[in-house]
Structure formats: C-alpha cells, structure tokens
C-alpha cells in the first residue's frame, strides 16, 4: 500500500522521506540513490565551490536518476556570503523543481525561486520562524527539533513538543526533521501531524554516502550521548560528533576571556571537517551528527534503508489500528 501524504503527492515520490541537505555529503551519488529508492534526494548547493559547479552536479544527478530530486540552499552567517542568487539562478535554469532552504533571512532566495514556481521546503527550528516563512509562500516547512545534527537553534525544544506545536499553529504542511532513522519514527511523525520526515545523519551511514568508511563505522558504534553542543556562546549552537576537535573547541569556548569567535574558529573549520569525510581520521576536524546516531546499527544501501522504513512504518500503523476495537467494551471482573 503506497503512502498518500501531501508530501508524496506534491513531490511525486512514493515514500515520505527526504534526504536533508548536508555539507560535503549531498552529492549526486547519494541524492540519486535516495530518489531511485522512492524518497527525495537532495544536492547541497554550497558543497559546490561555484554556481557552475552546481550546474554540473545537477546534470550528473540527472544521468543517475529519472525521479524527482532537489537542491539545498542554506543561508549561512558568514562575513563574506556566497552568491546565493547565482546558485538559485542555476537551479532555475536547470529546471530543478524542488528546493530545500534553511538559515537566516531566506526571503530574497524564496522570492526568486517562487517566481519560477519551484516547490520550497524551508527548514526551521522554532514555530515563530516557521510562521514567518509560511508568509513567504513556502510549500512545506521542515520542523527541526533539538535532537538534530548541525544548527539546532537556541530554544532547545525537542520534536515531541515542537511537532505538536506545529500541528496547532501552522497552516502550511510540515515535515519532521531531527531524530529520525527508521519506520517507527516515520509512523510517529505522521501521528503527530507531519506529512513525512527529513533525515540527515541516517543517510550519512549508507553505502552511497560519499564519506569515509571510518565515519560510517563510527556512527554505527556510537551511542546517543556521543554528540556535543558547540558555539552556544555565540548563539550559533551546533550539534557535532563528540570527537577531539569538538571537545577542544568546547574547552576554548568555555575558557576564553575575550569571547572573540576568532579564538575558536580554527577548531571548528569546515574544511577540516571535510577532510574527515575524505581521509577517515575521525578526530581531524569537527563534523555534524544528530543524537539519532544511537539508533543506527548498520550501513545499508539507500534502497534497503527506505524499503525497510516503509515496511516498518506500515507495520507500525497496522499494529496501532489493532489496539482499537469498535463498539462497546466490557470489563471482565
């Protein structure tokens, strides 16, 4: 029995699972594998050094799947911002129909994309930001709980509350993001009002993910307590795998007397984190991981993973139906 949610119908996918945009990970090999398996694969725009590099990656992905896939454009808090408009222009010119946006002040990019009738999934960590984004005309909101990897926001609200608040407040359909790895989570998200789930860390630990095998095995061996929250002092709180680099960064953050970001910057270098994915030295730099690492116990293909999620979710929904009996019940005394 195929799923029929607002997400599957709007995006043209068969399983309501989206692969979140991940820096250095959202390449054609992974995105196409997710899409071929029935979910929505996502290319990460800023993984590419230039808009023209993104164009090449989009075209490469098209040679690997004939199913829908999207592009992530994240607005980063940097002193010298990338040319977001140029990346968005490439997306439009290449005929990509779905974009995941995230970060601060998405209005200019959302406006640019909506003029091209592109379907937009916008990621938020608070209901306040979600309401603001909905006014921009986004099609779906991806509600990102405190359990998530990467930028967790500053409110520390976990998904069990955040999703229910989304159900109460939002008029725009939403996805559940942060803390999802299996079909039980998908069934729970649907029960809380979501139209599907967005997964990042779980997709990092698949055969097709373009990260070193040591990283994948580290995720398999990890517990849910093996993450660290870094950069809270600068209101840029980020959840990372708790390795030596993250621990060193935390030490500097806590002991700094000046409070200047430049003191911790070398410890949270994105380029060093990228090298971890390439060389497999787990402690060489920081890399993002959600608390969901405690649930991950294998390294399947994307086809195996999404098939398993679909089966688990449908079985869970069927099992819950059996807990309810129509008609009057009588207690046996």
When pLDDT is cut at 50, 70 and 90, the band that residue 301 belongs to is very high
Q: Give the span between the Cα atoms of 262 and 260, in whole angstroms.
A: 5
When pLDDT is cut at 50, 70 and 90, the band that residue 329 belongs to is low
Q: Reply yes or no on whether the pLDDT at 324 is more than 90.
A: no
When pLDDT is cut at 50, 70 and 90, the band that residue 259 belongs to is confident
Q: Where are the domains of the chain?
A: 6-210+298-319, 227-279
Contact 178/290 with Cβ under 8 angstroms?
yes
Q: What is the pLDDT of residue 231?
A: 96
The pLDDT tens digits of the residues spanning 125-167 come to 999 999 999 999 999 999 999 999 999 999 999 999 999 999 9
Tell me the CATH architecture of domain 6-210+298-319.
Answer: Alpha-Beta Barrel (3.20)
CA 166 to chain centre: 17
Contact 298/308 with Cβ under 8 angstroms?
no
Q: What is the mean pLDDT of the chain?
A: 95
Strands (E), the chain: 17-19, 41-44, 69-75, 98-103, 119-124, 140-144, 150-151, 174-177, 197-199, 227-230, 238-241
Q: Give the span between the Cα atoms of 7 and 12, in whole angstroms.
A: 8
When pLDDT is cut at 50, 70 and 90, the band that residue 332 belongs to is low
Q: Reply yes or no on whether the pLDDT at 314 is more than 60.
A: yes
Q: What is the pLDDT of residue 285?
A: 97
Overall average pLDDT of the 5-21 stretch: 97
Question: Which of 181, 188, 184, 206 has its CA nearest to residue 25?
Answer: 206
Q: Reply yes or no on whether the pLDDT at 10 is more than 70.
A: yes
Contact 40/65 with Cβ under 8 angstroms?
no
pTM beyond 0.75: yes
């Amino acid at each position: 029995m195929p799923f029929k949610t607002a997400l599957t119908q709007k995006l043209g996918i068969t399983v309501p699972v989206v692969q979140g945009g991940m820096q250095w990970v959202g390449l054609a090999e992974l995105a196409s594998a997710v899409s071929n398996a029935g979910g929505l694969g996502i290319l990460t725009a800023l993984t590419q050094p230039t808009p023209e590099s993104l164009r090449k990656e989009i075209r490469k992905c098209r040679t690997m799947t004939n199913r829908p896939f999207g592009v992530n454009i994240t607005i980063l808090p940097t002193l010298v911002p990338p040319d977001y408009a140029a990346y968005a222009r490439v997306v439009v010119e290449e005929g990509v129909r779905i974009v995941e946006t995230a970060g601060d002040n998405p209005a200019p990019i959302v406006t640019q994309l909506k003029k091209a009738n592109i379907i937009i999934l916008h990621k938020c960590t608070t209901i306040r930001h979600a309401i603001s984004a909905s006014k921009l005309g986004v099609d779906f909101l991806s509600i990102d709980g405190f359990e998530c990897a990467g930028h967790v926001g500053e409110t520390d609200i976990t998904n069990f509350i955040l999703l229910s608040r989304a159900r109460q407040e939002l008029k725009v359909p939403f996805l559940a993001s942060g803390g999802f790895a299996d079909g039980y989570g998908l069934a729970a998200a649907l029960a809380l009002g979501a139209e599907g789930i967005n997964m990042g860390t779980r997709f990092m630990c698949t055969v097709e993910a373009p990260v070193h095998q040591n990283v994948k095995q580290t995720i398999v061996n990890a517990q849910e307590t093996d993450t660290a929250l870094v950069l809270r002092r600068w209101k840029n709180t980020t959840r990372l795998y708790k390795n030596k680099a993250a621990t060193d960064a935390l030490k500097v953050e806590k002991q700094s007397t000046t409070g200047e970001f430049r003191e911790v910057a070398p410890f949270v270098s994105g380029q060093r984190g990228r090298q971890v994915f390439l060389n497999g030295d787990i402690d060489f730099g920081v890399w993002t991981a959600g608390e969901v690492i405690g649930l991950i116990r294998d390294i399947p293909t994307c086809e195996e993973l999404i098939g398993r999620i679909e089966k688990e979710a449908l079985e869970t929904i069927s099992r819950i139906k059996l807990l309810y009996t129509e008609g009057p019940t009588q207690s046996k005394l």
